[in-house]
Amino acid sequence: MNDQTVNVCGLTRRFGNTLALDHVDLAIESGEFVALLGRSGSGKSTLLRTLAGLDAPTAGSVQVPNERMVVFQEPRLLPWKTAAQNVALGLKGSDAKEQARAALVEVGLEHRLDAYPGTLSGGEAQRTALARALVRDPKLLLLDEPFAALDALTRMRMHVLIESLWKRHRLSVLLITHDVDEAILLADRALVIDRGRLVASIAIDLPRPRDLSQPGFFALRKQLLTAIGVTDVELREPAAKEPQAASDGTVAADSIVMA
Amino acid sequence: MKVTVPRLVDDPALSISIAPATKKRSRQWLRVLSPVALLLLWQIGCSSGWISSRTLAAPSQVIASFIELTANGSLQHNLLVSLGRVVKGMSLALLVGGSLALLAGLSRTGEYVIDAPMQMLRTLPVLALIPFFIIWFGIGEVPKVALVAVAALFPIYLTLYSGIRGVDPKLVELARIIGLSRGALVRHVILPGALPTALVGVRYSLGISWLILVAAEQVNATSGIGYLMNDARDFMRIDILVVGLLIYALLGLIVDILVRWLERRLLGWRPSFVGTAA
């Protein structure tokens, strides 16, 4: 199992005068779970969008499999379609309905098949988005802070779910997060990105299933926080909420225009 | 039984009043009282000669004329003619306005070619076009239907166009990720997303088409509600004029109910509709 799912070489992305990504080299092995940590505006979303094919690099080479799916922080479900219809949308073949149902059952939503997104809870909506990604059988799953908007308890449940799905489907996963604990709980390796450069790659070899009380957890936590550049002094100061990076998610309204 | 709820804040605007359902229904019934009282006043005013019959017909007389017009079939006939004109005009407006909005909304070229002239034309007062339409199309059915169509076209065009452009770009991006074709993107994402806005336009268009019809049917018409009223004016039949007014009001109401029903059917997915959809 030494083949690579993702191979990025010298990836650079410029927005006008700002350098969002600066000569990024990244390889993700088949079946590897990689977490990407960084502050707001560090370039982590740009990297994910490049891997997803939503953003073109200014320079460098990017090799990704065609079979890749993205789950965003907001579930992006079509409000006028039921959970099952959302998952089945775009699937080809006569058994699309059955596949969608199976995917929703897998994420524990067999009782919400015909529910409209407006009636789903945050966790249910996010699980539907996961089912929609998994039903397409991706080799690479890109997760853009998918748990950031969920409450703590729901987030813990989602952690368990995503780990089991990752194991069962033998996926390569790139999880973007700003939550250090989340990265340690889930990933084989944590990368730290700062001002467009990958500044650290830290292997996490704690035995699974993991929890916060494991020996070694806090050492890793400290190591990662230092890599991100968070100091004790900064943590004691009242946290100023950082604005979301401009490159986070949205595209111009013009994208609807197709000709 | 009166239920009192303790006030949270000493400001009546901020206080919450909760009443049992039955209480609410009886209050709603009270709302009918005031219109009924007005009708009574109107009737008394006419019967006592306080309001001249040359100014306004008494409600009793209006009802009598209504029955008379229905009995000899002229009301139904003229109503059907008017209805036909609105249906034809609206269909044309939906077809043309819808197609133009799709072209302008979905392609950049379409926007350049279509949107600027449409934005200019929509500022023309449609009623000022009546002389042109008579010169171009004569005095038959065509100018009447065309007038309705032109008036109804703009709200449909504007709302569908802005609805298409207002679709959440994040959903369009998602469609790209899951590999939807262009056709599927329009069918599953863009059109349903634009529908709530477009339906507002349809509702507005239907209201306008009746409004325009009133004017259009006063020009050289030989049938239709507008003709009925024009004729009544010539013979000083104020009672029939009032019947005509009532019919127009009723039609407006029915059309509104129809579109609301349509909205409930088509937009059942909206959280605010979930309760009534069941």
The predicted-structure confidence for A169-190, as pLDDT tens digits, reads as follows 999 999 999 899 999 999 999 9
Indicate yes or no: CB of A118 within 8 angstroms of CB of B271.
yes
User: Looking at residue B3, what is its pLDDT?
Assistant: 52
Measure B184 CA to nearest chain A CA, in Å: 8
What residues of A are in contact with residue B189 (Cβ under 8 Å)?
Answer: 78
pLDDT the model gives residue B8? 47
Q: Which residues pair with A190 in a beta bridge?
A: A35, A202
Contact call for B108 and A257, based on CB within 8 A = yes
Give the pLDDT confidence score for residue B22 in this predicted structure. 55
Dump pLDDT digits (tens) for A219-255. 999 999 988 887 766 666 655 544 444 444 444 444 4
Q: How far is B200 from chain A (nearest CA, A)?
A: 17
The pTM score is: 0.78
Please give chain B's pLDDT, 278 residues, in tens. 445 555 444 544 444 555 555 555 667 778 888 889 999 999 999 999 898 888 888 999 999 999 999 999 999 999 999 999 999 999 999 999 999 999 999 999 999 999 999 999 999 998 898 889 989 998 888 999 999 999 999 999 999 999 999 999 999 999 999 999 999 999 999 999 999 999 999 989 998 998 898 888 887 788 898 889 888 989 989 999 999 999 988 888 888 888 888 888 888 887 665 444 33
What pLDDT score was predicted for residue A252?
41
Q: pLDDT band for A7, please (50, 70, 90 cuts).
A: very high
pLDDT (0 to 100) of residue B195: 92
Cα separation of B197 and A201, whole Å? 49
- Cis peptide upstream of residue A209 (ω within 30 degrees of 0): yes
- Chain B residues in contact with A99 by the CB 8 A cut-off are none
Residues A45 and B40: their CA atoms lie apart, in Å, by 71
Q: Answer whether B171 sits within 8 Å of A76, measured CB to CB.
A: yes
- At A246 the pLDDT is 43
Residue from the list B177, B180, B270 with its beta carbon closest to the beta carbon of A70: B177
What is residue A232's predicted lDDT score, i.e. its pLDDT?
66
Q: If residue B60 lies in a helix (H) or strand (E), which one and from where to where? A: helix B59-71
Give the closest of A54, A80, A89 to B178, CB-based.
Answer: A89
**What's the count of helices (H) and strands (E) in chain B, helices before strands?**
14, 0
Verify whether the Cβ–Cβ distance B107 to A256 is below 8 Å.
no
Does B177 contact A250 at a Cβ distance shorter than 8 Å? no
B165 and A258 within 8 Å at the Cβ level: the answer is no
Q: What is the pLDDT of residue A161?
A: 93
C-alpha span between A148 and B236 (Å, rounded):
73
User: A101, exposed or middle or buried, with CB in 10 Å at 0-12, 13-18, 19+?
Assistant: buried
pLDDT at A101: 93
CA distance A141 to chain B (A): 12
Candidate from B180, B182, B192 with C-beta closest to A90: B180
**What is the tens place of the pLDDT at every residue in A19-30?**
999 999 999 999
The C-alpha atoms of residue B3 and residue B23 are separated, in whole angstroms, by 10
| Chain B residues in contact with chain A using a Cβ-Cβ cutoff of 8 Å | 105-111, 164-167, 169-180, 182, 184-185, 188-190, 192-193, 195, 267, 269-271, 274
In chain A, % of residues over pLDDT 90: 68
Mean pLDDT throughout A146-153? 90
Give the distance, in angstroms, between the CA of residue A221 and the centroid of all CA atoms in the same chain.
Answer: 20
The percentage of chain A sitting over the pLDDT mark of 70, rounded to a whole number, equals 88
Q: How far is B116 from chain A (nearest CA, A)?
A: 17
- In whole angstroms, what is the distance from residue B143 CA to residue B131 CA? 10
Looking at residue B207, its pLDDT comes to 87
How are beta strands A18-29 and A4-15 bridged, if at all? Answer: antiparallel
Q: What is the pLDDT of residue B274?
A: 43
* Residue contact A116–B189, C-beta within 8 A: no
> What is the pLDDT, as a whole number, of residue B252?
83
| Residues of chain B found within 8 Å of residue A53, distances taken between Cβ atoms | 177
CA angle (B190 as vertex; A249, B92 as ends), nearest 5: 155
Q: What is the reported pLDDT for B270?
A: 79
Considering only CB atoms, which residues of chain A are within 8 Å of chain B?
A: 52-54, 69-70, 72, 74, 76, 78-81, 89-90, 116-119, 132, 136, 249-253, 255-259
Q: Closest Cα of chain B to A110: distance in Å?
A: 19
- List C-alpha distances in Å: A101 to A44, A109, A169, B232: 33, 9, 17, 65
Contact between chains at B270 and A118 (C-beta distance less than 8 A): yes
CB contact under 8 A, B271 and A52: no
Q: Is B73 left (phi over 0), alpha (psi -120 to 50) or beta?
A: left
Partner residue opposite A257 with nearest CB, options B106, B166, B171: B106
Q: Contact A51/A5 with Cβ under 8 angstroms?
A: no
Find the closest chain A residue to B168 by CA distance.
A253
The C-alpha of B107 sits at a distance from chain A's nearest C-alpha, in angstroms, of 5
Mean pLDDT, chain A, rounded, equals 87
Quote the pLDDT of residue B4. 53
